[in-house]
Structure 1
């Protein structure tokens, strides 16, 4: 167990200092860069908070969709990303082959994409979704 402050809390403190104390005194030509840094910190905070949950949900969804439900789901971070990349490629090939053109697989593929994109937008830009969160 880590002592406090946590990484997420440290990022939040640094982001607040950047926005409240440093940004107001920066010359106008530097403000955009500072806002980009603050936004990157906010994304990192959300990713720390969520951990690998979204990626694991995406992996489970792809496994189910592609018929790989029996594979091990307890992968470490690097293996998780490798598996996601492999299944994403397989998913793309299935779509290009016409498997998602109609029918139940089309509906399941669409639902997978909607859920995956929503989760990614919730991390990268939750304000975009507004009240739909």
Structure 2
């Protein structure tokens, strides 16, 4: 267990100081930059709160979709996964393969189309939930 304040708490405190004390003292020309910094800090806080679960959920969904399409879950039809790769590298690779599927028309019809559409909507909602939760209308950090 980490000592307090946590990274999330430190970011929150720094963001509050920026918004409540420093921004009012800044010239108008600098306020937009300060707002962008405060927003970036808010996004980082939400990502810390969520941990790597959104990426893990996306990876599980991609593996399920690609498994339904070619039988082994890695999307290339060879029956072998990529042992030893990091989660982010694996996620990037499977997203690349899904992109190829979409471009090649392999996700245009049937259950696979519905699964791909649902996956892409979920990923978009999760990303918007981290970057701009107010847009979703319910204040949720993610829709995972």
Give the TM-score of the pair, scaled to structure 2.
0.84
Tell me the equivalent position of 2:123: 116
What is the SS of the residue equivalent to 1:131? coil
Higher alpha-carbon deviation: 97-106 or 7-16: 97-106
Unaligned runs of 5+ in 1: none
- The answer on whether the counterparts of 2:133 and 2:139 sit within 8 Å (CA) in structure 1 is no
Query: How far did residue 100 of structure 1 move?
Result: 1.5
Query: How far did residue 132 of structure 1 move?
Result: 7.8
Give the TM-score of the pair, scaled to structure 1.
0.91
After the TM superposition, which segments of 4 or more aligned residues of structure 1 sit over 6 Å from their partners?
none
What is the SS of the residue equivalent to 2:138? helix
- Structure richer in helix, relative to its length: 1
Tell me the equivalent position of 2:11: 11
Equivalent of residue 95 in structure 1, options 96, 102, 105: 102
| Total equivalences in the alignment | 130
Unaligned runs of 5+ in 2: 68-72, 75-79
RMSD: 2.0
Query: How far did residue 71 of structure 1 move?
Result: 5.5
